[in-house]
Amino acid sequence: MAPWRTLDPKVLEIIKKAQDLTGIDVDDAIHLIRLDLCSPEVYAVMGLANQISRQSFGGKGERHFHIGLNVEGCSYNCQFCSLTKQAGIFQGQREFSPEQILAWAREGANQGADALNLMTTGRYPFAKLLEVGAWLSREVTVPLVANTRDINHQEGEALLKAGFQGFYHAVRLGEGRDTPFTIDSRVRTIKVITDVGLKWMNCVEPVGPEHEPEEIARLMVLARELGATYSGVMRRINFPGSPLARHGMINELEMARLVAVSRLVMGGAVQAHCTHEPNAAALLAGANLVFPEVGSSPRDAEADTGQGRGHGLAACAGLLREMGWEVDQPSNCFGAAPTAGREVGACPRHYATIRA
């Protein structure tokens, strides 16, 4: 085993710049992504990202509860998605009943979810999404986040009127290659989201081994430049028969490294930082936000991912607490101020599950 060595001067320079929370640039992010995954430099980057998040977010761990509203073979045929006609996993169309959706929403409210993310396939009628949002906002007080197709200004204003506070949207890795959409169309929707006053929620996704550091780093910086409420990293999950399965998948350690680099890119511009699927490594590398899941999911061959890959609300709360994040504080993403008084480098003195 080689003796412990001094960190690479270039990495030390980037770390020093990152400490002022103004965000690192594309070239610096690329340099960090290309580091050897098990090098001391990577763990130094992960450590700083962890410290920054624990200070910036006041130790708050967030759970944004994903509820997939419908299952169908979507004709857009994004290559990474199990909910496509091309995948052939789901035949016909199915919408989860209002009773089931309300039960899930109340479960989220009762278990302290910080948001309800309502996801639809690309062809789901927009009017139905507005209808669901309007009645859910009367039934529960948890903030609603839409996750659907590209929208225009009129549709964005309609979402606000229906009770939505946020909108998840991303320029996906491989956009225009693995999807039928353009980067410009996705960016236009992001600008609509922020123009009308919705909170823009983002993730660099879906990351696979085939994606070059340059492409990943550019999307990290785009999230900061366009004003994401949160960003982070999600890896691609290969469903049975996935056309991208030949590339394999990145592991959770690689995802944690990318989460850390993204955290340094975002600096002080965000209210949370996410990882998906939920994992402990990323929660030590700058992530504080995870997604419990029910209903449809583009990463699952089960119609209800709550019966498949999806992590439950209680499991996600337990994971966050085990990694020293408090789940009972109000969400930073929807107006709460982070707890003051912690310095960079500070960590909780006790596990949230151990109380006097």
* DSSP per residue, 261-277: HHHHHHTTS-SEEEEES
Q: How many Cα atoms sit within 13 Å of 54 on the Cβ side?
A: 23
CA angle at 9 for the pair 343 and 345, rounded to the nearest 5° = 10
What percentage of the chain has pLDDT greater than the value 70?
93
CA angle at 277 for the pair 350 and 124, rounded to the nearest 5° = 130
Token look-up 């090098």 returns 39
Q: How many whole angstroms separate alpha carbon 265 and alpha carbon 225?
A: 10
Average pLDDT over residues 74-89: 96
Domain 47-322 is found in CATH 3.20.20.330: no
Break the chain into its structural domains and give their ranges: 47-322
Q: How many other CB atoms are found less than 10 A from the CB of residue 203?
A: 25
Question: Residue 68: beta bridge partners?
Answer: 119, 295
The predicted-structure confidence for 99-122, as pLDDT tens digits, reads as follows 999 999 999 999 999 999 999 999
**In the predicted structure, residue 51 carries a pLDDT above the cut 80:** yes
Token look-up 């903030």 returns 143
The answer to whether the beta carbons of residues 200 and 229 sit under 8 Å apart is yes
**In the predicted structure, residue 204 carries a pLDDT above the cut 90:** yes
**In the predicted structure, residue 339 carries a pLDDT above the cut 60:** no
Average pLDDT of the residues of the chain: 93
Average pLDDT over residues 314-336: 95
The answer to whether the beta carbons of residues 287 and 232 sit under 8 Å apart is yes
Number of H helices, E strands in the chain: 10, 12
1 — pLDDT class (breaks 50, 70, 90)? very low
**In the predicted structure, residue 215 carries a pLDDT above the cut 50:** yes
DSSP strand pairing (62-68 vs 115-119): parallel
- The reported pLDDT for the residue numbered 111 is 98
**Distance (Å) of CA 135 to CA 66, 164, 262:** 17, 11, 36
Residue 99 corresponds to which amino acid? E
Q: Which helix (H) or strand (E) holds 294?
A: strand 293-295
The predicted-structure confidence for 225-251, as pLDDT tens digits, reads as follows 999 999 999 999 999 999 999 999 999
The predicted-structure confidence for 162-187, as pLDDT tens digits, reads as follows 999 999 999 999 999 999 999 999 99
First to last CA, the chain: 43
Q: What is the pTM of this model?
A: 0.93
3-state class of 168 per DSSP? strand
- The reported pLDDT for the residue numbered 320 is 98
Q: How many whole angstroms separate alpha carbon 57 and alpha carbon 269?
A: 11
Question: Residue 117: beta bridge partners?
Answer: 66, 145
Of 351, 310, 247, the C-alpha closest to 117 is 310
Average pLDDT over residues 193-204: 98
Average pLDDT over residues 251-274: 98
**Distance (Å) of CA 181 to CA 78, 189, 264, 299, 321:** 9, 12, 29, 19, 39
DSSP strand pairing (70-72 vs 93-95): antiparallel
Token look-up 């130790």 returns 59
- The reported pLDDT for the residue numbered 73 is 94
What percentage of the chain has pLDDT greater than the value 90?
91
Average pLDDT over residues 263-272: 97
Q: How many whole angstroms separate alpha carbon 58 and alpha carbon 8?
A: 31
- The reported pLDDT for the residue numbered 335 is 80
The predicted-structure confidence for 119-167, as pLDDT tens digits, reads as follows 999 999 999 999 999 999 999 999 999 999 999 999 999 999 999 999 9
- The reported pLDDT for the residue numbered 92 is 86
- The reported pLDDT for the residue numbered 5 is 72
Backbone angles phi, psi at 91, to 5 degrees: -105, 140
* DSSP classification of residue 84: B
3-state class of 146 per DSSP? strand
**In the predicted structure, residue 345 carries a pLDDT above the cut 90:** no
